[in-house]
Amino acid sequence: MEQHDKSRRKFLYDLSLAGLSVPLISSALQCTDDKKTNPEIMIEKNKKAGKLGIALVGLGNYAGGQLAPALLQTGNCYLAGIVTGTPSKIPVWKEKYNIPDKNIYNYETFDSIKDNPDIDIIYIVLPNSMHAEYTIRAAKAGKHVICEKPMALTVEDCDKMIAACKQAGKSLSIGYRLHFEPYNLEMVRLGTNKIYGDVKKITSGFGFLIGDPTQWRLKKAMAGGGPMQDLGIYCVQGICYTTGHEPIAVSAQEGPKTIADKFSEVEQSLKWQFEMPGGIIAEGEASYGYELNFLKAEAEKGTFELSPAYNYGGLKGKIGETPMNFPNVNQQAKQMDGIVLSIKNNQTSIVPGELGKRDVKIIAAVYEAMRTGKKVII
């Protein structure tokens, strides 16, 4: 249930190491120091520092390789608890992250997390099909929620998730790390402020060769679809936040299936074309069969682009032929700190559930266009 795509994570994680090597080393040292301290003392220390406690639900590669290490670098939050269905993972996580026994849960005991004041936020890092259930249960437990993308498999589930969090008076955010990342934020600035005039054309693609054919990401019931759900969502986001506009309609085409044993249930690749306000040409592509990773805007007076655009680190960009020059940050740390700051300040998240719902709606329209061969109004 928690098995994430190792090929994907290794591909992206390796690319991130150059930009994150020093922080990762310092995290390891901090973790070693923390082992010397009683877990309860560490919890109290973090609380006194004004940090909010996060519990990770689902200890797959993303939680273990990215989120947990990032929580050693955050200023507004810390790793307070875990929820896992794999008992063998517990000793490793308990030791590495100094987690007290009372903050360790499985899926049967999950709802009792409502009685734990150490945990303020529940971060859902489960297969897509489980996002709605655990977000709703987390809200009913009286906790704020961060949910990984895509938010859910249907717009109806998104509505239920939003309603549950509103009823509980709790924040719901989606794990859109690139809304906190300098290179992508520069694309937002250049596009929406019309620094080079109106954007006339925008193109984006994200893809890699997927590994293990048995993983949940290739099972439609769990993933909801193939690379469009996993990778295409980044391209949808990039097109929207760079132009400042949302698509009106979409046409889409499925690519050929060249690896039969992996793609009996989901698409291997697809391309789509958005109809945008103002006649902007917008095209996207997502694939589990080959590598691509870019976001390019062509405006009236120049071009600006990222390549790679969507990795965990090592991003590069240029305006015309002039390189962008921004630090490569720990995106997950920036994301969680930013979300937590909005909670502490009683402000609306910049990556709210409504944004996740929008993207689920767009993805559903892309799939409908792909299946029918017709233009679909969004």
Which residues participate in catalysis according to the annotation? Answer: 149, 234
Note whether 62 and 175 are within 8 A (CB): no
Strands lying side by side in the sheet with 199-207: 322-323, 317-319, 302-306, 292-299, 199-207, 281-287, 269-275, 249-254, 376-377
* CA distance linking residue 144 with residue 253, whole number of Å: 38
Amino acid sitting at position 342: S
Q: What values do phi and psi take at 352, rounded to 5?
A: -75, 170
158: alpha, beta or left? (left if phi > 0; alpha if psi -120 to 50): alpha
Nearest to 229 by CA among 377, 356, 371: 356
* CA distance linking residue 55 with residue 65, whole number of Å: 15
**Tokens read off for 102:** 């009372």
In terms of C-beta density within 10 A (0-12 exposed, 13-18 middle, 19 or more buried), how is residue 105 classed? buried
Specify the DSSP element, H or E, that contains 54. Answer: strand 52-57
User: What CA–CA distances, in Å, run from 205 to 124, 198, 265, 310?
Assistant: 26, 21, 22, 9
